Amino acid sequence: MGQTHRTECPRKIDVAAIQDMYKKFLTECPSGVLFLHEFKKFFGVEPTGEASEYAENMFRAFDKNGDNTIDFLEFVAALNLVFRGDLEHRLRWSFKVYDRDGNGHVDRNELRAIMESMYRVKKGSRSEKSEEMSVDEAVDRLLQAVDADGDGRINLKEFLHGAKEDPWVLNVLKLDMDPVSWVMEQRRRSAHF
C-alpha cells in the first residue's frame, strides 16, 4: 500500500562506447543502413548459432518502420531506449522482441522460441528459479501468471501488468529486457578478433 514499484537504474553506456559504435556503424554501413547480416557482423555474431536468433529478434525490435533495415536514427533511438529507458519503455521493447510476427499478441510458440533462444544465450546469467525450470515449465508458468483472459496468448496490456505485478515474471522478462550486457559482450568479443 502506498509503495511505488522502484527499479534499479538502467546501466549507462559511456560516451566513448557510443562514439566507437558510431564509427563502426559508418565504417561498416556507408550506405547509412544496417541489414540483418550487417547487424550480426556489427556485434560479432555468427550467421547461425545460439546468439544469431537473439540478434534477429533484437534487429526486428530495433527496425521501427519494418523495412528490414536499421538506419542510424533507428539505431540511436534503440540504443537510447535500451540503455536509458524506464521500466515501462523497456517492457514495451521487450514485448516487441517476443511478438515475432508483430500481430500484437505473444502466443505459446513465440514465447517458447524466444525463451529457448534466451536460455541458450544467457545460460550463465544469475536467474534463480528460471534456470531450475525447463523452457516449457517457464513458458507454462509465465502464461499462467500473465494470460489474464486465458486465451492462450499475451497482449501488451497483460504483458505490462504481469511484469509489474509479479517479481518472478519481471525476473524472467529481464533476460530479454536487458540487452545491455549482451550488446557490451558482443562489442568486447568483436574487439578481440
In a domain, 155, yes or no: yes
Residue 4 C-alpha cell reads as 511505488
> Residue 120's pLDDT is what?
66
In a domain, 63, yes or no: yes
CATH code at position 175: 1.10.238.10
Give the largest Cα separation in the chain, rounded. Answer: 54
Domain that holds residue 169: 15-192
> Residue 42's pLDDT is what?
72
Total tally of structural domains belonging to the chain:
1
Q: Where are the alpha helices (DSSP H) in the chain?
A: 15-28, 36-42, 50-62, 72-84, 87-98, 108-121, 129-132, 135-146, 156-165, 167-177, 180-192
In a domain, 4, yes or no: no
In a domain, 157, yes or no: yes
In a domain, 9, yes or no: no
> Residue 175's pLDDT is what?
45
Amino acid at 131: E
Residue 129 C-alpha cell reads as 528459479
> Residue 87's pLDDT is what?
81
In a domain, 3, yes or no: no
Binned average pLDDT, 10 residues per bin, the chain of 193 residues: 41 66 78 85 73 79 87 77 75 82 90 78 48 84 93 93 88 57 58 56
In a domain, 5, yes or no: no
Please report, rounded to a whole number, the percentage of residues in the chain having pLDDT higher than 70. 69
- Separation CA 183–CA 193 (nearest Å): 16
> Residue 144's pLDDT is what?
92
pTM above 0.85, yes or no: no
In a domain, 173, yes or no: yes
* 133-152 tens-digit pLDDT: 888 998 999 999 999 999 99
* 108: helix, strand or coil: helix
Q: DSSP letter for 11, please.
A: P
> Residue 16's pLDDT is what?
74
* 5-15 tens-digit pLDDT: 434 444 555 67
